[in-house]
Structure 1
């Protein structure tokens, strides 16, 4: 759906703006990224806000997303499926953190355990190849490992310097733990099954609506 909308907008911009039609794929790609960011931002602000767990959800999402940049990991094959899964997962963590995070006195212990696991997986598995962008050069792999370790060190410093509440630390720890799971073979299998399930569900709904 997002791709089709981007394609229509790109064609309109190209034909009405007198641009070379050969640029349509490039324009489509750029518009798809921009529209995707807008849709994701709206959903990640609106839904958790309605549920009253915006800070916790953003803490979980940020901890996961920043580490994912250099680390890689399993992901869905479609924008809508990725968005739906992310909203459910991170909002769920936000809700859990709002109820449990503020009551736990072992939040820092959990954070350090997850951080230790993240360091081990970074040294042993990062970066996890994306089929669309495999990392083949050894020097690039080392660079991305250093990048990931730098992000983890930043998390350590933020937790020890900023006056973060325990529910935010709890949410961030679970968000990072979720991202670590996507680096493992079990995470790839689970993501594949989830992706296939949603494809079947959406296909059935589409056929049923005809």
Structure 2
């Protein structure tokens, strides 16, 4: 659906500006990214806000998402599958974190997840996908280094910020989930989720 919208909009823009077909494919791709990101942003803010777990959802999503940029991991085969699976997983983490805060230790879970992330990043990161393999050894080293540095920044940030228990839990669980997705078992689990949607 997003692809069709972007094609229609890009065709209209190219007709209005008298641009060739080569430019249309570039514009179409850009519009597809913008439309997809806008839909994702609206859903990721509106539903958690109405449901009362926006802070926990944002903490979980950002904690794992920022780490994934350099450490890599599985990508769903279609945009809607990514949208649904990501939303459901981080909503579950957010709800658990909101209602379990105070009943389980948040700081030990958070710091355990960060130290585990550091170990897994040293061993496995970056985890690429077959559709877009990382061929350059220098790029691999750079992404591994940045991934590990980000964990150290997280440790310092959480140490000095001292977030509320529900936020610490949401971040810790999300980081644990991301670390899990970098393993063979995690990759297999996400493949199963991808095919199930």
Q: TM-score scaled by structure 2?
A: 0.96
Distance across 1 between alignment mates of 2:48 and 2:3:
26
What residue number does 1:109 align with? 108
Give the alignment of 1:148-167 within 5 angstroms.
148-167=147-166
Distance across 2 between alignment mates of 1:102 and 1:81:
33
Bigger shift: residues 141-150 or 185-194: 185-194
Bigger shift: residues 154-163 or 66-75: 154-163
Give the alignment of 1:169-184 within 5 angstroms.
169-184=168-183
What residue number does 1:204 align with? none
What residue number does 2:69 align with? 69
What residue number does 1:128 align with? 127
Distance across 1 between alignment mates of 2:174 and 2:11:
39
Contact 1:73 1:183 in 2 (8 A): yes
The Cα offsets for residues 152-173 of structure 1, whole Å up to 9 and x where unpaired, read as: 1111111111141011010001
Does residue 47 of the first structure (1) align with residue 47 of the second (2)? Answer: yes
Does residue 30 of the first structure (1) align with residue 30 of the second (2)? Answer: yes
Secondary structure of the residue aligned to 1:114 is helix
Secondary structure of the residue aligned to 2:75 is coil
Distance across 1 between alignment mates of 2:61 and 2:55:
10
What residue number does 2:84 align with? 84
Q: Which runs of 5+ in 2 are unaligned?
A: none
Question: Does the C-alpha gap of structure 1 residues 102 and 75 become closer, same or farther in structure 2, counting only changes over 3 Å?
Answer: farther
* CA RMSD of superposed structures (Å): 1.1
Give the alignment of 1:93-108 within 5 angstroms.
93-104=93-104, 106-108=105-107
Aligned length: 197
Contact 1:15 1:21 in 2 (8 A): no
The Cα offsets for residues 35-64 of structure 1, whole Å up to 9 and x where unpaired, read as: 111111111100101110000000000001
The Cα offsets for residues 97-142 of structure 1, whole Å up to 9 and x where unpaired, read as: 11012443x2111111111110111011000012232112221111
Distance across 2 between alignment mates of 1:133 and 1:65:
18
Distance across 1 between alignment mates of 2:51 and 2:31:
30
Contact 1:93 1:171 in 2 (8 A): yes
The Cα offsets for residues 49-101 of structure 1, whole Å up to 9 and x where unpaired, read as: 11100000000000010000001111211111100111111111111111012
